[in-house]
Amino acid sequence: MALSDTLDAPADTQPRFLRALAHETLDRPPIWFMRQAGRSLPEYRQLRTRAQDFISFCHDPEMAAEATLQPMRRFPFDAAIVFADILLIPGALGQRVWFEAGEGPRLGELPSIESMADQVEASTERLSAIGETIKRVRAALEPERALIGFAGAPWTVATYMIEGRGSDRVRARTMAFAEPEKLDALIAVLVDATVRYLAMQVKAGAQALQLFESWAELLPEDVFERIVTRPHAAIVKGLRDLGIETPIIGFPRGAGSLVEEYAAGAGVQGVGLDVQASAAIGRRLQKSVTIQGALDPLLLRAGGEALDRRVDQLLEQWGGGPYIFNLGHGVIPDTPIEHIARVAHRVTGR
């Protein structure tokens, strides 16, 4: 092939998902679902029985690559997301993390900020298995389907580290007011560790990155700016300073109207919207960023005609601009697989 052929390669040979993130409006939006890999699939539950525990599963490249690819075999999704968890970073920084069956995550005592700051470099090394998973998936995935790497956003990860479990986050939110320096210091360590972790994922083959800020709700505007928007902007800048131009999606779930300030300040190329986001707010955001979302996972689980109507409505209200079809939060474990396939077909025609 002549060099000029590669130089002049038309933009439309890019995966559809990456074209949308480059702010293109397409004949149909790309589609993937948050938490598409996992417990809604019987083959995942089968694979899961082979792992000692969930954390070891995430650190086993062979099994994690298989879990990443399982939904890609079943559904015509335009992107895969590496199988891992947002709580791997606290573990790599020296805090004990485990999952209580049927309950969720548990974390041991919060180590001192100093000890975690000392382990930032080592933390990326301890997460090298995730890079290996990414390499395997990228090698197995068709070129027209993109691979997404991810991390938890600092505030959301900090809430689990502070509370020791999933919770109402009252302790963590109180810390934002009562011990702001301590929270800011914890977030600074997480920003640093996250930049390195995501850079490693890009080096391994991740073509886009998502920051999961699952707990952006219930924060006053100034606090939101301090612990959500600014740390996201610091992560984006940290990656750009390393010469990494990979597109980044921020998902500040529950941000409400603050999502507009977020989109203006975080420096991300894509913004994930949650189930409450209005059609109008999404359309305003599309002028500057690509939006992603926002089908209600409960409606996906419920199915029926209401589901079809909502899919059509989302395509109608946002499909005229840069848009990635997704849920407003993750797939619920007992969602019927036929409903997922039905929505994927309705969006892609396949």
Give residues in contact with ligand CP3 (CB under 6 A).
34-39, 48, 54, 81, 83-87, 104-105, 150, 166, 212, 214, 330
Residue 39 falls in the annotated catalytic set: yes
Identify the active-site residue in 78, 136, 138, 160.
160
CB of 271 to ligand CP3, least distance (A): 15
CB of 142 to ligand CP3, least distance (A): 18
Strand pairing class (97-100; 104-107):
antiparallel
DSSP code of 31?
B
Nearer to ligand CP3, 37 or 172 (CB): 37
Identify the active-site residue in 48, 74, 230, 310.
48
Residue 16 falls in the annotated catalytic set: no
DSSP reduced 3-state for 281: helix
CB of 194 to ligand CP3, least distance (A): 14
CB of 97 to ligand CP3, least distance (A): 10
What is the 3-class SS of 142-160, one letter each residue? CCCCEEEEEEECHHHHHHH
CB of 191 to ligand CP3, least distance (A): 17
Nearer to ligand CP3, 294 or 321 (CB): 294
Identify the active-site residue in 35, 74, 126, 346.
35
Nearer to ligand CP3, 214 or 269 (CB): 214
DSSP reduced 3-state for 348: helix
Identify the active-site residue in 28, 39, 106, 284.
39
DSSP code of 109?
P
Q: Which amino acid is at 114?
A: E
Residue reference for tokens 């301090």: 226
Nearer to ligand CP3, 123 or 214 (CB): 214
Query: Of the candidates 33, 65, 84, 62, which has an alpha carbon nearest to the alpha carbon of residue 198?
Result: 84
- Give the list of residues 6+ apart from residue 42 with CB closer than 8 angstroms, or none: none
What is the maximum alpha-carbon separation in the chain? 63
Distance CA 107, CA 130 (A): 21
Nearer to ligand CP3, 71 or 322 (CB): 71
DSSP reduced 3-state for 179: coil
Nearer to ligand CP3, 77 or 286 (CB): 77
CB of 335 to ligand CP3, least distance (A): 12
Residue 48 falls in the annotated catalytic set: yes
Nearer to ligand CP3, 166 or 238 (CB): 166
Cis peptide bond N-terminal to 294, omega within 30: yes
For residue 136, the surrounding DSSP H or E stretch is: helix 128-140
Residue 197's alpha-carbon distances to 14, 35, 94, 200, 302, in angstroms, are 25, 20, 15, 5, 37
CB of 134 to ligand CP3, least distance (A): 12
Pair of tokens at residue 18? 């990456």
What is the number of other CB atoms lying within 10 angstroms of the CB of residue 48? 16
Q: Which amino acid is at 299?
A: L
Residues annotated catalytic, as ranges: 35, 39, 48, 85, 160
